[in-house]
Amino acid sequence: MTRLGGAGRGCAATSRRTPRHAGLAIIITLVLAVLPRAADAAPEPGYYDSAQGLSGAALKDELHDIISVQTRISYSAVWEALKVTDQDPANSNNVKLFYSQVSRSKSANGGNVGDWNREHVWPQSHGDFGTSTGPGTDLHHLRPADVQVNGTRGNKDFDAGGSSVSGCSSCRTDGDSFEPPAAVKGDVARMVMYMAVRYEGGDGFADLEANDQVNGTTPYLGRISVLLQWHAQDPPSAAEQRRNDLIDTRYQGNRNPFIDHPEWAQSVFG
């Protein structure tokens, strides 16, 4: 597919390593060093060549430049795209809902109880980007979700703990955070990391950053220390890699680097 020119480099990245993350950094580095990559990983030859050998802020800057070369799709086109990227492998008439992991008819998309809708894993209000073409339509963080579960998640940051969620018994939530089920915790972490690298404030949208707080309505999303743990505990699956491939080859022409190279997460965000 033809790759279209993307945005230039945004705001300069800064290192976020802090002493309290040092022990976690050692554990995650050891785990990620032995993680197998999914068998169908397929970035085009040379896609990440310019990032090889880099670390920290320099790696983040280079990955931003690489993945900013993308085709953008409209918000209405997201409906049909999700029917492809999130198709239930056991039933081609259905999509697999992200948090609840329930299989639901592709035609049941909408806004009513029992429908599925378009979940922004990085909430729109955390950067005020809405649904205009850009971060609000980027498939790398958009997933089909049950309307009610999506409503419960709202714009909360990610963290551990809370009470169970109706329609997603393995989810937990409290007043300011949401914990997804174990099966998708790593997926959530890698989507948040992608958004924090892709959108650096240089293309008319806010500079999105991952931090270690619960943030309300700001361009930040947390908590990164928890997300790094989830990333290590739930490494990229073959299904997640296939989704990355589909977004790359059929829709946007860019990839989530933390799916292709899990070891880069600690270097950029540790």
- 186-244 pLDDT, tens digit per residue, is 999 999 999 999 999 988 999 999 999 999 889 999 999 999 999 999 999 999 999 99
Evaluate if residue 6 carries a pLDDT over 60. no
Higher pLDDT, 9 or 256: 256
Task: Give the mean pLDDT of 130-146.
Answer: 97
Q: What is the pLDDT of residue 134?
A: 95
Q: What is the dihedral of CA 51, 207, 37, 223, to 10 degrees?
A: 130
What is the pLDDT, as a whole number, of residue 41?
A: 54
- Answer yes or no: are the C-beta atoms of 261 and 48 closer than 8 Å: yes
Q: Name residue 227's beta-bridge partners.
A: none
Mean pLDDT score of the chain, rounded to an integer?
88
Residue range 42-55: mean pLDDT, rounded: 96
Whether residue 5 has pLDDT greater than 60: no
pTM of the model: 0.86
Nearest to 82, CA basis, from 113, 115, 114: 115
Across 36-59, b (16+ Cβ under 10 Å) vs e yields eebeebbbeeebbeebeebebeeb
Q: What is the CA radius of gyration of the chain?
A: 17
Residue 56 has pLDDT above 90, yes or no: yes
Q: Which residue has the tokens 């947390």?
A: 222
